[in-house]
Amino acid sequence: MLTIKTSANRKKSLTNFKIDYEYYFCTVQLTAPNIMKNKLLNRLKNAICSAPALLICLSAFSFNAMASAESHLTDTVTNGFKLRTVIVDAGHGVKPENAPKGHYSRGADGSFSNERNVTLAIALKLQKAIEKDITGVKAVLTRSTEDDVSFERRAQIANENKGNLFISIHCNSLPDRVIRERVGGTARRPKYRTVRVPDRSGKGTLFLIYALKRSTEAENEIKANQVEGESDLGDALDPDDPVVVILTNEYKRRFRKQSVNIANLINDEIVQVDGRRSEGLRGQSIYVLCHAAMPSVLVETGYINNPEDEEYLNSEAGQTEIVNSIVRAITKYKNQMEGTGTN
Ligand SMILES: [Zn+2]
């Protein structure tokens, strides 16, 4: 978990940053720049050659306005396209002993549960529901036990199975606020101590979509808040690197619109049918960047450190409701993309 020195009014943007760090750490940071560059070149080749591959990039860039603009599908029906395989990605896990080299992350903790178990429970239900309720669509899990799977392997699984859509299941969590509390001293020389205060105010869903560049505002926000334990956020994938730029353009051209579309469809189901709060769609400043070959969305299904959300996320009824919303959204997406429905 990330430690952040902050004030209360910066909480909102830091929520997003926490997610950034988590993904960055488990996917990008440990890769040496040169190796990354070579990998990116291969990815680029794959993307251009239409080989199955996966790209998720997240950067701090608001999609709120763009989301509605891009949700209209005037030119998205692809002749002959069939949605055949959905990759269902349960975030995090427990790193196994003798795990292969790669990026692993245990995820956030609630008061009585943890993210990695909730994401697995939802993903297992989602896989079954997709195969039962959406004719002709196969759902492939990136992990099916509590053992974590490296991000590299998750991408491989998506690619090997020729996924058409990548849905990553996660839970959100707000970092503790760190405040200074006066503990005595004199008027001229007051004494303070630092206190960590849990912040349980986050509630509802959030959808994360690829975007490359961190906004200046977000950069400044992070610098101003002196994030501890974070060294070189974003260094591994340089937004000015021509390879990254080309990859990003390729992603934008081929997959961003549909990523925004599926995120909007799920968001609509959760808000309009389930009546839950949502923070909407957002680009994020940390890249979960793999090979670019399918639309992708990361669903923060709720805040595991919010008591009500934690109950909901752990309940059979809550998990089923989330799964059903995602399945209805995928069904609409499939109909749109295949030109067979009215949605
Ligand atoms: Zn997560």
The pLDDT tens digits for 151-193 are: 778 888 988 999 999 999 999 999 889 999 899 999 999 999 9
Centroid of ligand 1 to alpha carbon of 255 (angstroms): 22
Centroid of ligand 1 to alpha carbon of 118 (angstroms): 10
Which of the four pLDDT bands, split at 50, 70 and 90, describes residue 10? very low
Higher pLDDT, 104 or 50: 104
Asked whether the predicted pLDDT for residue 79 surpasses 90, the reply is no
CB 293 within 8 A of CB 218: no
pLDDT of res. 152: 76
pLDDT of res. 237: 55
Give the domains, in start order, of the chain with CATH numbers.
3-338 (3.40.630.40)
User: 227-228 and 3-4: which strand pairing?
Assistant: antiparallel
pLDDT of res. 100: 92
Cβ neighbors of 42 (< 8 A, separation 6 or more) are none
Centroid of ligand 1 to alpha carbon of 193 (angstroms): 31
Centroid of ligand 1 to alpha carbon of 80 (angstroms): 35
Centroid of ligand 1 to alpha carbon of 108 (angstroms): 7
**In this predicted structure, which of 75-79, 139-143, 225-229, 306-310 has the lowest mean pLDDT?**
225-229
Centroid of ligand 1 to alpha carbon of 92 (angstroms): 6
CA pair distance 193, 183, nearest whole angstrom: 7
Centroid of ligand 1 to alpha carbon of 91 (angstroms): 6
Question: Considering all CA atoms of the chain, what is the largest pairwise distance in Å, rounded to the nearest integer?
Answer: 77
How far does CA 318 lie from the centroid of its chain? 20
pLDDT of res. 42: 52
Please name every residue paired with 184 in a beta bridge, in sequence order, or none if there are none. Answer: 191
Centroid of ligand 1 to alpha carbon of 31 (angstroms): 20
CA pair distance 204, 301, nearest whole angstrom: 7
CB 208 within 8 A of CB 298: yes
CA pair distance 76, 67, nearest whole angstrom: 15
Centroid of ligand 1 to alpha carbon of 48 (angstroms): 30
Q: HEC profile for the chain? A: CCEECCCHHHHHHHHHHHHHHHHHHHHCCCCCHHHHHHHHHHHHHHHHCCCCCCCCCCCEEECHHHHHHHCCCCCCCCCCCCCCEEEEEECCCECCCCCCCCCCCCCCECCCCEHHHHHHHHHHHHHHHHHHHCCCCEEEECCCCCECCCHHHHHHHHHHCCCCEEEEEEEECCCCEEEEEEEEECCCCEEEEEEEECCCCCCCEEEEECCCCCCHHHHHHHHHCCEECCCCCCCCCCCCCHHHHHHHHHHHHHHHHHHHHHHHHHHHHHHHHCCCCEEEEEEECCCCCCCCCCCEEEEEEEECCCHHHHHHHHCHHHHHHHHHHHHHHHHHHHHHHHCCCCC
Residue entry with tokens 């053992």: 147
Mean pLDDT over all residues of the chain? 74
Centroid of ligand 1 to alpha carbon of 207 (angstroms): 12
Which of the four pLDDT bands, split at 50, 70 and 90, describes residue 239? low
pLDDT of res. 232: 26
**What does the pLDDT average to over 130-136?**
97
Centroid of ligand 1 to alpha carbon of 116 (angstroms): 8
Centroid of ligand 1 to alpha carbon of 30 (angstroms): 18
pLDDT of res. 277: 97
- Among 158, 11, 34, 6, smallest CA distance to 88 is for 158
pLDDT of res. 208: 86
Asked whether the predicted pLDDT for residue 19 surpasses 50, the reply is no
Report the chain's C-alpha Rg in angstroms: 20
